[in-house]
Amino acid sequence: DSLLLEAGFLAVLVAPLRLLKWRSTAWRAHDGVTFWLVRWLLFRLMFASGVVKLTSRCPTWWGLTALTYHYETQCIPTPGAWFAHQLPVWFQKFSVVATYVIEIAVPLLFFAPIRRLRLFAFYSQVLLQVLIILTGNYNFFNMLTIVLAFSLLDEEHVGRWLGRSRRRHTSTWRPSLRAVLSTLLELSTYSVLLYWSVRYFGLEINWEKRLLDSKVAFTYHEFTTWLRAVTLPLVGLGFLSLSWEILTAMYRCACVRGCFWKLWATLQWAVFTTATVGMFAISLVPFTYIDYESNGKLWPGIHKMFSAVERFQVVNSYGLFRRMTGVGGRPEVVLEGSYDKQTWTEIEFMYKPGNVSRAPPVVIPHQPRLDWQMWFAALAHHSSSPWFTSFVYRLLQGKKDVIRLVQVDESQYPFRAEPPVYIRAQLYKYWFTGSAEGSEGPTPWWRRQHVQEFFPTVSLGDPTLESLLNQHGLKDKTLLKRSTDAFLPRLLQSLRQISRPFSGPTILWSLYLVAATVCLLRALGRRPRGSVPPARHKGPRRGEPADRGGGEKNGQLRRKEAKEAEEKGEGRARGAADGHSDGPRGTKKKK
């Protein structure tokens, strides 16, 4: 949510503002400046996500064994997570090394002056996000990160995807000095990345066991010393990159034709450059949270600016998977309901693990908030999640809106006819089954073990439930009366009624398909009717006339012009001959 807020605010600056040239698609002079903020956000997100894994001192990240637990202990795994969990341990450890390289080392290439290095960084980030999408349901987060990664591309590379590349590739025997130096620097960068990975992660091929050994070859003190040494220089690197974009945009403003348009472009450049520099300055405060000593060295005015806008969350600090949870097994809360306190029936959720024989779902880009929060609730005592008491209370009351958060299809809810009289919650530990495990029936995806009671048995009017509700201030209160005659509430209510039978992923993907269809129709509508796409000019083949196909009309026109010229020439010659034969009479006629 923090990333979505910051990216949404940057979209306000990046989105085109056309006050005088409406519907103009021309690239504005200052676009490179505001677009740079997207690249800076991507850098802060990825670099901090890699660094916090090591600064947290989590033993699984330092032992390179985090992924042996991650796939089964993440919030909502996918079917691909089960298969990834079956991979050998040496490959899981190598995957952690690759994650460190992509999240810590590769982001430095975001500001590289060589285009191919930025493309390498782009595809590395996209590869990581696609693998995460295949193995985990992280709502819109990974897709949004891929969108941010597009800030590493240029118009030429995107044009190749669309078949609109404008660059002419000419083959020359002697490449320019600039191309040679660029290639050497690119190869040197790849060599440094490879050497850094082999040295600091102890990569070594074990030929006897036919596997790749890896281990962290540096200490926590060495890493924090390195981090303290590079944090402020990275700020300087970002400032130099931004300064280059600002100077380039200023030069583009100077190249605009027309005095008025040049003044208008310069005014826009000044406004958006000021906004960009301000955003960059206040983002330094959350970015330097990775090293508090560097954070204290920032100018005090920057801290004051950040404090003024902190509540709006336009800039945030990031750090994904700081510590690996569920090392001893995935904790999972299982709700149970009963009418007689003797026979208990489990309440299945739509997305989170419950039934061991049910396959993990694929719900991206939907964010099932309740299932997500149930994962956090299982990590501690139920008193750490006050909302859980209210959730149980609403299920006992049979609230339809709350039941729909558990199951959209009411036929899947075991107490659809009448709310349960008693509800309790049990804590289990879940593990993925192994590929070699077999059973008589369908192979289960999970195996589980009961741990303890998570929430006591309660019913409506139970003193324990009433005490918990009063303790957390969750007793029923008088709801604010809202006007139902206004247009917006009625519109939202009708939309909810229409979408009620459908699940979240179905609604979201339907909206995406509608948007894609509209964009496709608009693209086809801009093309004039009956138009033929221009073909490349080709010379005539051997044995064929030069005019063929589209040149036939031009050939007829040239023959017609030649015939008219011949007729004019014959008319002039005939007039001259008549003048000579008439003698004086012809002279008199001329007079």
**Mean pLDDT across the chain, nearest whole number?**
86
User: What is the widest separation between alpha-carbon atoms in the chain?
Assistant: 139
Output the CA angle 123-189-141, nearest 5 degrees: 30
- 115, 92 Cβ separation under 8 angstroms: no
Structure tokens at 260: 């008025």
- 67, 116 Cβ separation under 8 angstroms: no
Q: What pLDDT score was predicted for residue 541?
A: 46
User: Do 256 and 360 belong together in one domain?
Assistant: no
Lowest mean pLDDT among 125-134, 383-392, 448-457, 553-562: 553-562
> What would the pLDDT profile of 28-87 be if each residue is shown by its tens digit?
778 899 999 999 999 999 999 999 999 999 999 999 999 999 999 999 999 999 999 999
Interatomic CA distance for residues 463 and 182, integer angstroms: 75
List the one residue out of 172, 148, 176, 119 whose CA is nearest residue 44.
148
Question: Which residue bears the tokens 């952690």?
Answer: 96
Q: Does 249 fall in a domain?
A: yes
- At residue 338, what is the residue type? S
Residue that finishes a domain, picked among 254, 281, 312: 312
Q: What pLDDT score was predicted for residue 30?
A: 82
User: Do 413 and 293 belong together in one domain?
Assistant: no
> What would the pLDDT profile of 201-220 be if each residue is shown by its tens digit?
999 999 998 899 999 999 99
Interatomic CA distance for residues 306 and 300, integer angstroms: 10
For 11, 37, 41, 314, the CA distances from 8, given in Å and listed in that order, are 5, 12, 12, 9
DSSP H helical ranges for 26-77:
31-55, 59-62, 67-73
For 8, 36, 44, 472, the CA distances from 148, given in Å and listed in that order, are 11, 11, 11, 40
Q: Does 562 fall in a domain?
A: no
DSSP 8-state symbol, 77 = B
Q: What pLDDT score was predicted for residue 481?
A: 64
Q: What pLDDT score was predicted for residue 45?
A: 96
Residue that finishes a domain, picked among 459, 476, 493: 476
Q: What pLDDT score was predicted for residue 573?
A: 47
User: Do 250 and 124 belong together in one domain?
Assistant: yes
Cβ of 24: how many Cβ atoms within 10 Å?
Answer: 10
Q: What pLDDT score was predicted for residue 477?
A: 66
- At residue 498, what is the residue type? I
Burial of 414 (C-beta count, 10 Å sphere; 0-12/13-18/19+) = middle
List strands edge to edge, sheet with 446-458: 345-346, 330-338, 422-432, 446-458
Interatomic CA distance for residues 492 and 508, integer angstroms: 16
For the segment 398-426, the average pLDDT, to the nearest whole number, is: 93
pLDDT at residue 551 above 50?
Answer: no
Q: Does 551 fall in a domain?
A: no
User: Do 101 and 220 belong together in one domain?
Assistant: yes
For the segment 289-312, the average pLDDT, to the nearest whole number, is: 94
Q: What pLDDT score was predicted for residue 379?
A: 93
Q: Does 580 fall in a domain?
A: no
Q: Does 494 fall in a domain?
A: no
Q: In this structure, which long-range contacts are made by residues 283-286, counting pairs with CB atoms below 8 Å and at least 24 apart in sequence?
A: 283/40, 283/41, 283/44, 283/315, 284/235, 285/315, 286/44, 286/315, 286/316, 286/317
> Which band of pLDDT confidence, cut at 50, 70 and 90, is reported for residue 172?
low
DSSP H helical ranges for 136-216:
141-149, 155-162, 177-200
Interatomic CA distance for residues 183 and 190, integer angstroms: 11
Interatomic CA distance for residues 580 and 265, integer angstroms: 72
Angle between helices 31-55 and 2-14 (to 10 degrees): 160
Domains contained in the chain, number: 2
- 82, 74 Cβ separation under 8 angstroms: no
pLDDT at residue 510 above 80?
Answer: yes
User: Do 223 and 123 belong together in one domain?
Assistant: yes
Lowest mean pLDDT among 168-182, 393-407, 552-566: 552-566
Angle between helices 259-287 and 220-254 (to 10 degrees): 170
Residue that finishes a domain, picked among 255, 277, 312: 312
Give backbone dihedrals phi and psi of 431, rounded to 5 degrees, phi first.
-135, 150
Q: Does 418 fall in a domain?
A: yes
Q: Which residues pair with 455 in a beta bridge?
A: 425
In this predicted model, which residue has the larger pLDDT, 497 or 282?
282
User: Do 299 and 367 belong together in one domain?
Assistant: no
- 73, 194 Cβ separation under 8 angstroms: no
User: Do 276 and 383 belong together in one domain?
Assistant: no
Q: Does 574 fall in a domain?
A: no
User: Do 296 and 382 belong together in one domain?
Assistant: no
User: Do 284 and 371 belong together in one domain?
Assistant: no
SS (H, E, C) 128-144: HHHHHHHHECCCCHHHH
Structure tokens at 346: 């489990």
Question: Which residue bears the tokens 């698609």?
Answer: 25
Structure tokens at 12: 């306000």
Burial of 421 (C-beta count, 10 Å sphere; 0-12/13-18/19+) = middle
**Element holding 250 (H helix, E strand):** helix 220-254
Interatomic CA distance for residues 493 and 482, integer angstroms: 13
Q: Which residues pair with 425 in a beta bridge?
A: 335, 455
List the one residue out of 201, 198, 196 whose CA is nearest residue 96.
201
> What would the pLDDT profile of 318-327 be if each residue is shown by its tens digit?
988 888 988 8
Structure tokens at 262: 């040049």
Q: Does 112 fall in a domain?
A: yes
pLDDT at residue 474 above 90?
Answer: no
User: Do 345 and 197 belong together in one domain?
Assistant: no
Structure tokens at 51: 């660094």
User: Do 291 and 383 belong together in one domain?
Assistant: no
Structure tokens at 68: 């042996």
Q: What pLDDT score was predicted for residue 584?
A: 41
DSSP H helical ranges for 255-385:
259-287, 292-296, 300-309, 369-377
Q: What pLDDT score was predicted for residue 547?
A: 45
Give backbone dihedrals phi and psi of 530, rounded to 5 degrees, phi first.
75, 5
Sign of the dihedral through C-alpha 394, 387, 5, 112: negative
pLDDT at residue 567 above 80?
Answer: no
In this predicted model, which residue has the larger pLDDT, 389 or 26?
389
In this predicted model, which residue has the larger pLDDT, 393 or 481?
393
Q: What pLDDT score was predicted for residue 229?
A: 96
Q: Is 446 strand, coil or helix?
A: strand
Angle between helices 89-100 and 31-55 (to 10 degrees): 140
> What would the pLDDT profile of 252-293 be if each residue is shown by its tens digit?
999 888 898 899 889 999 999 999 999 999 999 999 999 999
Residue-number span of the structural domain to which 413 is assigned: 330-436+444-476
User: Do 250 and 369 belong together in one domain?
Assistant: no
